[in-house]
Chains A and B, each alone.
Chain A
Amino acid sequence: MTVAMLDALISEYVAGDLPEPARVLVASHIEMKPSSAMMARTLEAFAGESLEAAKTRALVSGDRCMENIMRSPSPALRLVQPREKHHVLPQALRDHLGYDLADVPWKTKLPGLKQHMIEHDKDDGSEMSLLWARPGRALPNHTHEGLELTLVLDGDFHDHRGTFGRGDVSVADEDLDHRPVAGMTKPCLCLSVLFAPIVLSGSKMGLLGDILGL
């Protein structure tokens, strides 16, 4: 079930349809999970085939477009950097943050529980944050106002559904009531993305909600 939701998210990622926080989370997950990277790569190839065979829509300004291209300077490109493997934070996340784990400005929320709010979008109500829990720390029982994606970056946590380890994504929604507990061996570090309920009525999130069967 979780895999189906995850694949729906990966397909939205490949199509370029995810809001920025979810895009960063899925890109980070893909970096850590080769099986999901292959899934994304396959959907990209499928998109390529679909494009090759797609319907056409004539350009209003086709000739001018050709002329512009012939006169254009060579575009500036950012090329793929070889990814460094020793980082705890995936490159997609470091690129978004602009800093690495050592520089996260943590705030203590409860003993043994730290949070850094990366962004809180007042327009769409979405939240993106890093969470750190010491080994064995339980989060208070909670429900969710909207879709909650949690990517485990280090360590692991468990709730009544099972254990989530490095690279795993937990998908939770309004119907889930859970009490996550960090694993005993090491601290648990997670990236959390929350979609407030109001967002689900918008067109983009309506589509996501539709795909995820919400």
Chain B
Amino acid sequence: MLSDGDQKDRFAALAKAVADRRDQLAFRQLFDHFAPRLNYWLHRRGLPNEEAEEIVQEVMTVLWHRAGLYDSSRSSLSTWLFRIARNRHIDLQRRQRTRMIDGKEPLLQIDDVPGMETMLESEEREAKVREALTRIPGEQMELVRASFFLGYSHSEIAACTGLPLGTVKSRIRLAFEHLRKALDGHDRLSP
């Protein structure tokens, strides 16, 4: 069983093999790990199978052709893939809402958090982010995960966990407060 850090390094090395040599076996391993997980996340977003798999394919297509754009000092591969999937999902909703019929595909944006590029060195920032995440009590982060990543409503979480609704809300609020405190000091460090 690989530790989290080893796992991240392995994914980064596989992505590098795809970027440098278009290594199909390396890509296959990344596909086998991430495609079913992206599919699960998109399913949780409420997407029907066909649309979810279309987005999974788009995300993995970006990885296959543009793995060279991934920078392991800026984020883990899973965060990079999450961001692409999230942006693709937003594009899909936009297309459906505006019922765009000109058939023009919007360009996929692989963007960092806005304004992020001016802040701190990426290694320093990543270290700060990871450290902050380890400081939040697990029971609070599990509720944040259920709500924000898996998209369950607070009432659904209360029903599943047996916690009172007020406790669910306050634990999630506390998790955000703890994160803010753990990250504190960045306003002073940035230009």
Query: Taking beta carbons and an 8 Å cutoff, which residues of A are in contact with B?
Result: 3-4, 7-8, 11-12, 14-17, 20, 23, 27-28, 30-35, 37-52, 54-62, 65-66, 68-70, 72, 74-80, 82-83, 90-92, 203, 206-207, 210-211, 213
Contact = CB atoms under 8 A, between A and B. Distances in A.
A41 B53 contact: no
B36 interface: yes
Interface string B87-115: 10110001001000000010111111111
B12 interface: no
B75 interface: yes
A83 B82 contact: no
21 contacts: A11-B148, A15-B148, A15-B151, A17-B151, A23-B90, A34-B187, A38-B129, A41-B112, A44-B79, A45-B130, A47-B79, A47-B86, A48-B75, A48-B80, A50-B149, A56-B37, A58-B39, A65-B57, A69-B31, A69-B61, A203-B46
B114 A30 contact: yes
Contacts, number: 222
A68 B55 CA distance: 13
B153 to A, nearest CB: 5
Nearest to B38: A51
Interface in B62-79: 62, 64-66, 69, 75-76, 78-79
B133 A210 contact: no
Contact of A78 (B41, B108, B115): B108
B56 A59 contact: yes
A38 B41 CA distance: 23
B180 A91 contact: no
Nearest to A79: B110
Contacts of B114: 27-28, 30-31, 37, 83, 90-92
B37 A83 contact: no
Contact of B153 (A8, A32, A37, A206): A206
B112 A46 contact: no
Given A23-B90, A75-B61, A77-B109, A44 B118 contact: no
Contact of B117 (A3, A52, A80): A80
A46 B145 contact: yes
Given A15-B149, A56-B37, A42 B132 contact: yes
Contact of A207 (B4, B62, B126, B153): B153
B26 interface: no
A181 B49 CA distance: 51
Nearest to A60: B49
A196 B89 CA distance: 24
Contacts of B155: 210
Contact of B116 (A37, A75, A210): A37
Given A48-B78, A48-B82, A42 B116 contact: no
A129 to B, nearest CB: 19
B120 to A, nearest CB: 9
A42 B110 contact: no
